[in-house]
Amino acid sequence: MTTPLDIDAAMKLASEAFQPYGCVTSANPEDDSFGFTVMSSAGAEVLAVPHVPRTQYANPLRLCGVIEQARLDLLHKGCHLDPWTMPYITDPSAIPETPPNY
């Protein structure tokens, strides 16, 4: 069984999944969803995912699928990403620290 994620935890995971690119997340409070935009080091938008509904982000496995699909889209655009895996979360109130990518 997986631990459900709240929107803040899901946004944090998404923001860390696209290194070395930047990722900006924004909550959509009217429907309890969020979106994210992956940015180049020059600040140009590389990929936008405007809507990740609660049904997708609350389940860590589904959120992992959303993030992995976005990563594949970036790879197909020729972007080189650092390795990433979805952390295993046992406590819904805590997000494991992500070790720095050197």
pLDDT digits over 4-57, tens only? 899 999 999 999 999 999 999 999 989 999 999 999 999 999 999 999 999 999
- 62-79: average pLDDT: 97
Give the pLDDT confidence score for residue 70 in this predicted structure.
98
Q: Is 49 within a domain?
A: yes
Within 6-59, residue ranges assigned H as helices are 7-15, 54-57
- Taking the C-alpha atoms of residue 50 and residue 41, their distance in angstroms, rounded to an integer, is 20
Element (H, E) at 65: helix 60-76
| Structural domain for 48, as ranges | 7-75
Q: Is 87 within a domain?
A: no
Cβ-based neighbour number of residue 27 at 10 Å: 13
- 58-84: average pLDDT: 96
Of the listed ranges 16-25, 26-35, 66-75, 87-96, the one predicted with least confidence: 87-96
Is the predicted pLDDT of residue 3 greater than 60, yes or no? yes
Give the pLDDT confidence score for residue 87 in this predicted structure.
85
**How many domains does the chain fold into?**
1
Cβ-based neighbour number of residue 23 at 10 Å: 20
Q: Is 84 within a domain?
A: no
Q: Is 98 within a domain?
A: no
Q: Is 94 within a domain?
A: no
Residues 6+ apart with CB under 8 A from 35: 25, 26, 28, 48, 49, 50, 51, 52
E-assigned strand segments in the chain: 22-28, 33-39, 45-52
Neighbouring-strand partners of residue 24: 37
